[in-house]
Amino acid sequence: MSLAVEMHGGDANSVCRHGVAIALSVLALLAFLITSSVARADALDDTLARFLDDKFPGTEKAIGELAAEAPPQAAAILEALGDNRLLIDPADHVVAYKTAAGAILNAKTGEPIANVAAFKKVRVNNALRRAIEGATGSLTLANPDAEKRLAAAEDVFRTRDAKALPALQAQIAKESDPRVADAFRLARAAILATSDSATSQDRLAAIETLKARGDQDAQSLIDQIAQKATDPAVKSAADSALSSIHTRLMMWGAAQDLWYGLSASSVLLLAAIGLAITFGVMGVINMAHGEMVMLGAYATYVVQLLLPPSLQNWSLAFAIPLAFLVAAIVGVAIERLIIRYLYARPLETLLATWGVSLVLQQTVRSLFGANNRLVSNPPFMSGAFHVGGLEITTNRMWIIALAVLVFVGLQLVLHATPFGLQLRAVTQNRRMAAAMGISTARIDMLAFALGSGVAGIAGVALSQIDNVSPNLGQGYIIDSFMVVVFGGVGNLWGAGLGALTLGIANKILEPVIGAVQGQIVLLIVIILFIQKRPRGLFALKGRAVEA
């Protein structure tokens, strides 16, 4: 009994002791948690305090600490720092950041801050931006969003931050998305390639991964392995990978030059095709043609200025018809007021239209100012994507598409409409066409409107790749005449083929002999060609052509 009691007592005692122990350990745990969170909070405070001085070395240290300690706020703080949105108030020792939406939040607590007057931005430089890329890379490798993981892997690949290696190894095993896993392996290969202590096995694996990527970055990384490696197996693997990448790059390089040529041709074609109509049909040397292009570009600027933000992405869809209209109206005005009095007097037309071009330039300069105007690229017109080893910038791609559309459209107008038929008749034999009852004056006016309007559309395209300034047109007028004269006057196919030849020839010559010399060589070739074939590639045949 007593034993039992004792036992009970013992039990009770032990229960009691257990209870105390549990309570104690809970307390201890609590205390630990509190102190550790205090410690962590202190560390975060210390880290954030480094931003307050706004000195580059301090900021760099803070970035390293945020990456190492990885408090939950780290990613947001680093992102803000990289985007110049991290704010400090050195007087009150407050660090805050501005969200993309514009709210200002305390960097530590995440609470909104009302009084924002005293804040200034933390400065960053390129060295810091690299550190931020590396840090956010390793911080977001485990992000639940696959796109973010992909971007993180890309960051690590570019910064080759060796500190990310352990996290990378851990993530590769867990990764389920094959795209992300590939990116992780590439990032690991990049780190291993630049590391001095990697094993031969690691290096062989890195070469294999990089060889599959096969671009310039991979080539330089493998090259680094080849220089570091002492193991003959690694060396020979690196050499064979290098030679295979080299061949691949050569082939894609040639394709890339061809693409650049196509793109240059599309710009030439757009600028010149309107001229092919006016010059071709009426034989008018219109030196103000470039200014029609310029007006089209300014029309794009005005459209972007007037459109509400919700429609900005569609600005080009509005700009194309407006640019066509504006340029066509100005073109008709020039034809009615000046050019028609000077038909059959080419030299005077040339001088008069040159004068018109100066007047138009100065008018635009007075209206809009001499400075370049900002025309923004809608999202679908910026950036680039890869097709194999080809890098295709989207703005150039759309401009090629537009050039093809304009070309096909004009062919349809010329060959499938009554206006087109009359236009061709006037082109081939003006007097006979007039005798058949075609009002040649009306056709001249319409042709001028069409040619100028198409130049306006070219302006919309050029606003996406060039300056929108009063001088925009001047840069294209010579090239346009070159295309038209080379291709053959009065023939759209001639203009098309002329633009294609000149564009591609230019872009093949440029990497070989340089941009300046390339243009000179091309000019000489054209002069020689015109000596041989004065009427260009596609000479028009007809009874009145010689007249």
Partner 1 sequence: MSLTKRILSRAAGALVGGALALAAGDAWADDTIKIGILHSLSGTMAISETTLKDVMLMLIDEQNAKGGVLGKKLEAVVVDPASNWPLFAEKAKELIEKDKVSAVFGCWTSVSRKSVLPVFKELDSILFYPVQYEGEESERNVFYTGAAPNQQAIPAVDYLMSEDGGSVKRWVLEGTDYVYPRTTNKILAAYLKSKGVADEDILINYTPFGFSDWQTEVSKIKAFGSAGKKTAVVSTINGDANVPFYKELGNQGIKATDIPVVAFSVGEEELAGLDTKPLVGHLAAWNYFESIDTPANKEFIEKWHEFTKKPNRTTNDPMEAHVIGFNMWVKAVEKAQSFEPDKVIDAMIGVSVPNLSGGYSTMMPNHHITKPVYIGEIQGDGQLNTVWQTPGTVVAQEWSPYLEGSRDLIADWRKPMACGNFNVKTGKCGG
Binding residues (CB under 8 A) for partner 1: these are 56, 83-84, 123, 125-127, 129-130, 133, 158, 216-217, 219-221, 223-224, 256-257, 260, 263-264, 267, 351, 354-355, 358-359, 361-362, 365, 370-374, 376-377, 382-384, 391, 393-396, 465-471, 474-475, 507, 510-511, 514-516, 519
Contacts 24+ apart (CB under 8 A), 122-128: 122/51, 122/54, 122/59, 122/81, 122/84, 122/86, 122/87, 122/88, 123/54, 123/56, 123/59, 124/59, 124/81, 124/82, 124/84, 125/56, 127/56, 127/60, 128/56, 128/59, 128/60, 128/63, 128/81
Q: Which is nearer to partner 1, 40 or 55 (CB)?
A: 55
Report the nearest approach of partner 1 to the CB of residue 353 (Å). Answer: 11
Report the nearest approach of partner 1 to the CB of residue 472 (Å). Answer: 9
Report the nearest approach of partner 1 to the CB of residue 358 (Å). Answer: 5
Instruction: Tell me the DSSP string of 215-282.
Output: SHHHHHHHHHHHHH---HHHHHHHHHHHHHHHHHHHHHHHHHHHHHHHHHHHHHHHHHHHHHHHHHHH
Report the nearest approach of partner 1 to the CB of residue 352 (Å). Answer: 10
The contacts of residue 39 (CB under 8 Å, 6+ apart) are none
Q: Tell me if 480 sits within 8 A of 458, measured CB to CB.
A: no
Q: Which is nearer to partner 1, 386 or 431 (CB)?
A: 386
Report the nearest approach of partner 1 to the CB of residue 252 (Å). Answer: 11
Q: Which is nearer to partner 1, 181 or 249 (CB)?
A: 249
Sign of torsion, CA 177 186 72 126? negative
| DSSP structure class, residue 438 | -
Q: Which is nearer to partner 1, 346 or 514 (CB)?
A: 514
Report the nearest approach of partner 1 to the CB of residue 219 (Å). Answer: 7
Q: Tell me if 483 sits within 8 A of 495, measured CB to CB.
A: yes
Report the nearest approach of partner 1 to the CB of residue 302 (Å). Answer: 15
Q: Which is nearer to partner 1, 97 or 538 (CB)?
A: 97
Q: Which is nearer to partner 1, 488 or 498 (CB)?
A: 498
The contacts of residue 129 (CB under 8 Å, 6+ apart) are 82
Q: Which is nearer to partner 1, 113 or 364 (CB)?
A: 364
